[in-house]
Amino acid sequence: MKKIILLFAICLLQTNLKAQTNVYHPFPDSNAIWIEEWTKHMDTSVHYISRTSLIGDTVINAVNYNKLYSSFVHNDPYLGFDSSWKYTGGIREDITKKIYFLDSDSINEMLIYDFSKNIGDTIPSSKNFAPLIIENIDSILINNQYRKRFLLDSLGYSFIIEGIGYNGGLFGLFTTAWIFSWTLPDLVCFIQGGNILYHNPNYNSCFRVITTIDDKEYKHAFKLIPNPSNGLVKLEIENTTNETLKIEIINVSGQQVYRKQYSNTIHKQIDLSGLPKGIYFVKMQGKDLINVQKLVLQ
């Protein structure tokens, strides 16, 4: 009798999981951010982090797109530095579960995901890659709901999550430009509506702080007290060089909600109680460095 009950429970669980994965989770059209990271092959202390966010929509050639903006930070002394948010292009989903991207420098959109594919099908990817085939389809628990996961190898190292994208980055299946000097990107986190829906287990935090090579003597200490906060945040900066530092606070949609410059050591209380609760990025930027910390308003 116990064996029958156990078998019934297992069948019921499998039926429930299958039913949940049959519920399609569409690609986000707003309030979403993908955080990705690269590492340099020859120097693993050098990192490159990108944040890509959906902000607004637009119409191009009579077709509706959601606008993508990207921001980059790195600690490579040989690369120029500009962490401002820039328009990347438009992205859209059609009724057949296909995701298209129109680059800001192109007039032709390209297919980047097709969530209607099945086991054995070839997926969209760069022509520089060998054809990628879906080896298997299983499920992954995201925010208490199961989504389809399309496995691109038998070990499960490479996969695409329904409604999120590739675990090698939003455009990782098309990234080849830096393949010889940088690793291919990792999707560190995917955030939607202020909630972390996917967190790569190989990274301790979604909000990694990187510093330049010249910053190893910690010339600029940067603290937020308390964190999490109810909206009143004490900002402490030990600026021993009197360098002008720019402080920006950005929400998960990439919108700037606070900006100010300081040139001296400060201990200042900032009132953010008028902002919605959620996750924010506090960025301190100087001539040769950038530090980013996560701030939670609750």
d(CA 100, CA 35): 20
Per the listing, tokens 């996560």 go with 294
Single pTM value for the model: 0.68
Is residue 170 within 8 A of residue 190, CB to CB? The reply is no
Question: Which CATH number is correct for 213-297, 2.60.40.1930, 3.90.550.10, 3.20.20.70, 2.60.120.200?
Answer: 2.60.40.1930
d(CA 178, CA 156): 24
pLDDT (0 to 100) of residue 124: 87
The domain segmentation of the chain, as residue ranges, is 24-199, 213-297
Other residues' Cβ atoms within 10 Å of the Cβ of residue 235: 21
pLDDT (0 to 100) of residue 7: 46
Q: Residue 298 has which token pair?
A: 């609750």
pLDDT by residue (tens digit) across 89-145? 999 999 999 999 999 989 999 999 999 999 999 998 876 567 789 999 999 999 889
Q: Residue 272 has which token pair?
A: 């953010």
